[in-house]
Amino acid sequence: MNRPADTNISPTFGETQFTRKKQRQEFTAKCFFGGMAALMVIPLILIVGHVITQGWHSLSWDFLTTNPRMGGVKGGIWSVIVGTLYIVGISLCVSAPIGVLAAVYLNEYAKETWFTRIVNLAVVNLAGVPSIVHGLFGVGAFVYAAGMGKSIVAASLTLAIMTLPVIIASTKEALSSVPMQFREACWNVGASRWQTIRRIVLPNSISGILTGVILQVSRAAGETAPVMITGVAIYKAVEGTGLFLYDPFREQCMALSMHLYYIATQAHNAPKSLPFAIATVMIVLVLFVNLTAIVFRSWLRSRRKW
């Protein structure tokens, strides 16, 4: 004989008041953190959109491929872009190898002693030093003490010193993310420490190392204070439109950050859209570098075995 179903009995695994409360709390937290993310992204979009809109009238192919004239208020910004590439490229060639090798030594070779603790503390503190202080150091160390004068190399070395601590810190974090079991497995089969670092540790941490290096490229491209007193000129008449416009050891150059500052604050009779156009070019260059790094990093991560 079949018993009638009791409609008053709730299912064993049905939704309860407690689970509904948890779901409401989860939805509230999701909306709150989503709003915080929007508060960061929306102002960025508005600022970038305003800059591009205001500078659109001055942007053209001639603007990108011709040199400045009449103190920078006429012509284009080709020599300015090339000067920026010189400074950032040389600084990266100096800071990246030194920073990565220093991080490898501190993370893989150095023992935990009072000296290494002082070095790590110095690296962290040096990363927070204002950029103008690095500029003054560059003037004393490279312009005068080393006898380089105000030149592209002096400005580049100043930027290299400024970006070095962050590269060391980010590289150490990337190296520490590689599991210790990988190292122990290599040591157990007879591999030396350097073979383990070269074959296992560095390939599996290269994406994190690349991220730190590329972020510092973006920072170096936008710095004004360190380079304006070490090797960047407000205006420099340049002939030609090639890539070899400057002598890095003897000449000063123009840079996007300094050129933008000069046009926006000191230049007379400059079109109102000109500083916005220069800022747009800087934004596009930084976005291009970051996008390239993201694509390359994603490709490297896809090749990892763990």
Of residues 268 and 161, which shows the higher confidence score? 161
Please say if the pLDDT value at position 2 is more than 60.
no
User: pTM for the whole thing?
Assistant: 0.83
Q: Which tokens go with 109?
A: 């070779």
Beta carbons of 107 and 175 less than 8 angstroms apart: yes
Confirm or reject CATH 3.30.420.40 for domain 59-302, answering yes or no.
no
Q: Quote the CA–CA distance of 10 and 30 in Å, as a whole number.
A: 30
Please say if the pLDDT value at position 28 is more than 90.
yes
Of residues 189 and 294, which shows the higher confidence score? 189
pLDDT for residue 157: 94
pLDDT for residue 155: 93
165-210 pLDDT, tens digit each: 989 988 998 898 888 888 888 888 888 889 999 888 888 888 888 8
pLDDT for residue 203: 85
Residue labelled with tokens 């030609």: 240
pLDDT for residue 81: 92
Most confident of 2-6, 135-139, 218-222: 135-139
If we measure between CA atoms, which residue out of 159, 148, 151 comes closest to residue 94?
Answer: 159
pLDDT for residue 306: 59
Q: For the beta carbon of residue 88, count every other beta carbon within 10 angstroms.
A: 25
98-151 pLDDT, tens digit each: 999 999 999 989 888 888 889 888 888 888 888 899 999 999 999 999 999 899
Beta carbons of 162 and 223 less than 8 angstroms apart: yes
Average pLDDT score, the chain: 86
Beta carbons of 155 and 226 less than 8 angstroms apart: yes
Mean predicted confidence (pLDDT) in 257-267: 88
53-112 pLDDT, tens digit each: 998 888 889 999 899 988 888 888 999 999 999 999 999 999 999 999 999 999 989 888
Q: Write the CA distances from 124 to 167, 210, 231, integer angstroms.
A: 11, 19, 27
Q: Which tokens go with 2?
A: 């079949």
Q: With bands split at pLDDT 50, 70 and 90, how would you rate the model's confidence at 14?
A: low
Mean predicted confidence (pLDDT) in 50-54: 92
